[in-house]
């Protein structure tokens, strides 16, 4: 590795983002409040009173994956996120596979989250008596405005993007936690014996709910995309990755327990609720919180859009500097020093799927579910490759901890493979059964293009994932 850092920023605002802002990038990309709003209800339909345990197990599994990401991030950093982390051990091809899967993930999650943001923004207007945005045209208009705002924020400043997304997410989390605390104490069921004894929960149900739990953590590695801009990347990024996973896990466990304990009818009724947080607020006379709740969830989805565009644009920027993409992508805004061209290019692939789905007559939250599912497949493939890369990375460096990395990598990787398997088998109903094929097609397009480029320019391909800094030996 290099004995001293080399400026690989390519003009980015190098070493300008504080450790706190780095951490907020990962938290915003996870979007705990958006997950809290819906996932516990889905999990309760399978795990019942054991849903909170499933989230606890999911948290532990994600921490195995987080260890693998962090062990490389302590020694390597770059704008290409997981692409540059995978490069030393998986080579140029493995680096691209990791990055392309992640790129599909961030674009799809940004698109699905945009649909969610538009829906809940319309709900806020409805709460105040205006329902002009509930139709298809109104949803598309709101989505366009929200996406334009997200693009403006990410172009203007990486620090502004981190602060805006983090502030919105923290406000949303605070609102949801306050509401959950109120309803939990008003329910008189703070110590829910049914949940503590796992009454009626089955092992099979809880295991399947773990699948849903793990999906709630995608994006926890997002801080790695700020490898060039972080003030202290080799410390701040690993801490952000581990810390965001732990914080999200604790929030999920609490929120799931509180929703099941407080919901009138328990896990059974929670499982069939279309909007659990709204229903809880109504059940306990907190109707005045509805506009705040919906605004908070809107903010959470918007924060995901900002965070995903931040990552996606830096992947394009990194590939532009590697030579895989046109050099045009490797240039930054002359004033703001952000990868503005990558940001603007992402607008269409984020916006078009939402518009097409809405015009096809799908409900906004159905759009979120379908598009996000495709994105989750991308994240899972990238995470599995990193679980393999971590122990190989340490072995190549002859560094300590290889055995521990293998344990973490195998547990994390096998768990993610199982999650993927349970998403495709038993075969889900239509159209969910078609979603894996969309992901496969996008992967084939990217890999096919990469292999064709490699056949013509093998020397350029070897630079894939090398646009990065290695930590000094003492770190």
Q: In this structure, what are the phi and psi dihedrals at residue 447, rounded to the nearest 5 degrees?
A: -65, -40
d(CA 358, CA 352) in angstroms, rounded, equals 10
| 331 class by beta-carbon count within 10 Å (0-12 exposed, 13-18 middle, 19+ buried) | middle
Q: Which of 373, 385, 475, 473 is nearest to 420 (CA)?
A: 373
Neighbour tally for 160: CB within 10 Å = 17
What whole-number distance in Å separates Cα of residue 141 and Cα of residue 223?
Answer: 31
What are the extents of the domains in the chain? Answer: 19-470
Nearest in space to 467 (alpha carbons), one of 10, 97, 114: 10
CB-neighbour burial class of residue 169 (10 A; exposed 0-12, middle 13-18, buried 19+): buried
Q: Is the pTM of this model over 0.85?
A: yes
Distance in angstroms (rounded) separating the CA atoms of residues 226 and 15: 9
Residue 377's CB is within 10 A of a number of other CB atoms, namely 25
Name the burial class of residue 121, with classes exposed (0-12), middle (13-18) and buried (19+) by CB atoms within 10 angstroms of its CB: buried
Please give the distance of CA 131 from its chain centroid, rounded to a whole number.
30
Q: CA 38, CA 275: separation in Å to the nearest integer?
A: 7
Distance (Å, whole) CA 156 – CA 338: 7
C-alpha to C-alpha distance for 28 and 220, rounded to whole angstroms: 9
Round the CA-based radius of gyration of the chain to a whole number and report it. 21
Contacts of 430 (CB under 8 A, 6+ apart): none
Q: Tell the CATH topology of 19-470.
A: Amino acid/polyamine transporter I (1.20.1740)
Average pLDDT of each block of 10 consecutive residues along the chain (475 residues)?
Answer: 47 83 88 89 92 95 96 93 95 96 97 96 94 95 97 88 82 92 96 96 89 89 91 94 95 97 94 90 92 91 93 94 89 87 96 98 93 93 97 95 97 92 82 91 96 95 88 63
Q: How many angstroms separate the CA atoms of 205 and 44, rounded?
A: 9
Kindly give, in sequence order, each residue whose CB lies less than 8 Å from that of residue 405, ignoring residues fewer than 6 positions away: 67, 68, 71, 390, 391, 393, 394
């Amino acid at each position: 590795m290099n004995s001293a850092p080399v400026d690989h920023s390519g003009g980015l605002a190098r070493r300008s983002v504080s450790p706190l802002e780095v951490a907020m990038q990962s938290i915003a990309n996870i979007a705990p409040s958006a997950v809290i709003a819906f996932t516990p209800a889905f999990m309760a339909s399978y795990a019942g009173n054991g849903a909170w345990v499933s989230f606890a197990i999911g948290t532990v599994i994600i921490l195995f994956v987080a260890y693998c990401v962090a062990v490389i991030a302590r020694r390597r950093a770059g704008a290409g996120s997981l692409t540059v982390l995978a490069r030393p051990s998986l080579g140029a091809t493995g680096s691209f596979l990791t990055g392309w899967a992640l790129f599909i993930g961030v674009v799809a999650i940004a698109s699905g989250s945009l649909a969610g943001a538009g829906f809940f923004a319309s709900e806020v207007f409805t709460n105040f008596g205006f329902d002009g945005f509930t139709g298809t045209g109104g949803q598309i208009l709101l989505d366009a405005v929200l996406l334009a705002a997200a693009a403006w924020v990410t172009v203007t400043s990486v620090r502004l993007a981190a602060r805006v997304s983090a502030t919105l997410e923290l406000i949303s989390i605070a609102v949801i936690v306050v509401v959950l605390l109120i309803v939990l104490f008003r329910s008189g069921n703070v110590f829910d014996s049914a949940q503590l004894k796992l009454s009626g929960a089955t092992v099979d149900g809880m295991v399947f709910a773990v699948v849903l739990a793990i999906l709630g953590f995608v994006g926890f590695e997002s801080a790695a995309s700020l490898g060039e801009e972080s003030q202290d990347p080799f410390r701040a990024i690993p801490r952000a990755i581990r810390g965001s996973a732990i914080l999200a896990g604790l929030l999920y466990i609490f929120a799931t327990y509180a929703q099941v304990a407080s919901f009138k009818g328990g896990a059974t009724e929670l499982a069939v609720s279309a909007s659990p947080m709204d229903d809880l607020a109504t059940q306990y006379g907190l109707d005045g919180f509805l506009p705040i709740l919906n605004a908070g969830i809107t903010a959470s989805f918007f924060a995901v859009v900002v965070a995903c565009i931040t990552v996606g644009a830096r992947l394009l920027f990194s590939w532009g500097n590697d030579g895989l993409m046109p050099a045009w992508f490797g240039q930054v805004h002359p004033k703001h020093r952000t990868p503005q061209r990558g940001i603007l290019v992402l607008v269409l692939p984020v916006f078009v799927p939402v518009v097409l789905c809405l015009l096809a007559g799908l409900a906004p939250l159905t759009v979120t579910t379908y598009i996000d599912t495709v994105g989750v497949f991308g994240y899972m493939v990238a995470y599995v490759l990193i679980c393999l890369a971590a122990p190989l990375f340490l072995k190549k460096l002859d560094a300590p901890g290889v055995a521990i990395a293998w344990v973490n990598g195998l547990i994390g990787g096998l768990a993610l493979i199982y999650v993927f398997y349970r998403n495709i088998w038993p075969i889900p109903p239509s159209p969910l059964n078609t979603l894996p094929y969309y992901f496969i097609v996008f992967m084939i397009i990217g890999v096919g293009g990469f292999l064709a480029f490699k056949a013509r320019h093998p020397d350029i391909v070897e630079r894939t994932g090398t646009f990065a800094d290695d930590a000094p030996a003492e770190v």
